[in-house]
Amino acid sequence: MDNSKKTPEIERYSGQFDQTDWSSAYCNVEKECTNIKLKLISGQVPPRLKGSFYRNGPGKLERNGQWVHHPFDGDGMITLMRFNNGEVTFSNRFVKTQAWEEEEKADKFLYRGVFGTKKTGLAISNFGDVRLKNIANTHVVKLGNKLLALWEAAGPHALDPETLETHGLSSLNGALSPKEAFSAHPRFDPGHHKDPRMVTFGVSTGPKSTIRLMEFATKGSNAGNLISDRKDSFNGFAFLHDFAITPNWAIFLQNAMDFNPLPFIIGQKGAAQCLSSKSDGKGKFWLIPRHSGSFSNQPAKIIDAPDGFVFHHLNAWEENQSVIIESIFYKDFPTIGPNEDFRNIDFNQLPAGILKRCRINLLTNETEQETLSTQCCEFAMVNPYFQGLSAKYCWMATAAKNIGNGPLQAIKKLNLINKGSCEWSSSPRGFVSEPLMVPEDSTGNEDDGWILVMTWNGKFQTNELVILNANNLSHQATLEVPIKIPYGLHGSWSDS
């Protein structure tokens, strides 16, 4: 049943949100829990929903009175919500990285953050210290019998998927060399070439950038083993957080960025604060043939991309002689300056993320673009079984108002064909993180399943887990989370 027929944009709450409600979610996680049964506030947990919902995000934002400059610099903390027979249990653990252990013992920042956090002490102590602290805070995925906490500038940390105990840095059975970068945004191929696999990458940046494209088995006795591997080099500095896949291609968008390392080297700025958009630059699509596809022995393709900055892609697929990719575009790179407080940012001064579709003609190397939704959005996803295929629906977190930037307060289901939509909103005093679509099975309708989303209730100063019907976003259940958790980044689902 399609409950997102083409209708005018929904009239949304347009009043001014309370900045204190929004910023009050930023805090340190003060407690680690083990298998606590979540209290049901309303509704009923669907009994057919069985499995584990993992989330990652910054859990340590302040040490001895000093706050991180940007929440992206906070140490990673994993949550696990296990669903079974209509009940949900909750566990959480910090990722015990070497740097986390050192800073816990010292009760101060011993490392600089990529997004501007400085070491505790005199400003001169930051001069010349270009070490990167692996904060393992961006994503969490299960690969074989290990849970991986990901941060894209370094290697993954392996955790026990049941207890969340940290086992240390992982080389993935020797696939990674020490200190090698490993993406925090893998894509899971549902089985375009018989067997499902995890497709991911690492990038070495500079005047010339090299992408290492890797594919890992996810099922059977060889789960976790590297099964394909290639490297491609491109001119220019690469700032890449995400990519997309089709059966034949891995698609990257090289944002038109400059990197001036001097302020980072002398201790004035974090590495990410040294990025700026090229006013006369042009972004590029890099299309790398997948080893399992029809063009595996061919070189990568380089094609001009539309103007704008992209963190996240929704999906991609192939159609005739074209590759279509859907992405969230910003007019410029959104950043928090050295003298700004992230808890008091003015959303009106930051560019809004807008979902757009690019059609890349592989014969002419020309690209056409169309806007799919004018509403500010982030964290968009399709049904995982449609990864790399033409999908009819997507689900995403959005601002509460129709136009302009704002905090994420609603979940929107968008029909990608006729652009009809429906939504569930937590405004005016609620705020959402990334929604996760859990399909009921691989054989039903594309929108059969559930949406899981962690929210922040500004009125009651608490986190809540909300379960929605993926078909029409009708409310299924709300459960109370026993501890306060800052806004998270990415999460994943593992069937029981």
What's the pLDDT tens digit per position in 279-332? 777 899 999 999 999 999 899 999 999 999 999 999 999 999 999 999 999 999
Q: Is the pLDDT of residue 11 over 70?
A: no
Radius of gyration of the chain (CA): 21
Distance CA 257, CA 330 (A): 13
Maximum separation of any 2 CA atoms in the chain, in Å: 62
| Mean local confidence (pLDDT), 432-447 | 93
Return the residue matching tokens 């100063």. Answer: 461
- CATH code of 19-495, in short, is 2.130.10
pLDDT of 443 reads 81
Write out pLDDT tens, residues 164-175: 999 999 999 999
Distance CA 350, CA 404 (A): 9
pLDDT of 1 reads 43
Do you know the residue count of the chain?
496
From the list 126, 141, 47, 38, the residue with the least C-alpha distance to 81 is 38
DSSP SS3 for 5: coil
DSSP conformation class of 343: G
Write out pLDDT tens, residues 136-148: 999 999 999 999 9
DSSP SS3 for 22: helix
Write out pLDDT tens, residues 221-271: 899 999 999 999 999 889 899 999 999 999 999 999 889 999 999 999 999
490 is in an annotated binding site: yes
DSSP conformation class of 100: H
Q: What are phi and psi of 274, to 5 degrees?
A: -90, 5
CA distances from 108 to 63, 73, 101, 102 (A): 5, 14, 11, 9
Distance CA 419, CA 394 (A): 10
Tell me which H or E stretch contains 19.
helix 19-23
312 is in an annotated binding site: yes
Checking 192-197 for CB contacts under 8 A at 24+ apart, the result is 192/246, 192/247, 192/292, 192/388, 193/247, 193/292, 193/293, 195/219, 195/220, 197/227
Are the C-beta atoms of 466 and 395 separated by less than 8 Å?
A: no
pLDDT band at 10 (very low <50, low <70, confident <90, very high): very low
Q: What are phi and psi of 311, to 5 degrees?
A: -90, -50
Following DSSP, what letter does each residue of 407-422 receive, concatenated?
A: -EEEEEEEETTT--EE
Q: Is the pLDDT of residue 278 over 90?
A: no
pLDDT of 333 reads 87
Distance CA 120, CA 64 (A): 9
Worst-scoring range by mean pLDDT, 12-26, 194-208, 321-335? 12-26
> Which residues are paired to 249 by β-bridges?
289
Write out pLDDT tens, residues 65-75: 999 999 999 99
Cα 465–Cα 471–Cα 476 angle in degrees, nearest 5: 35
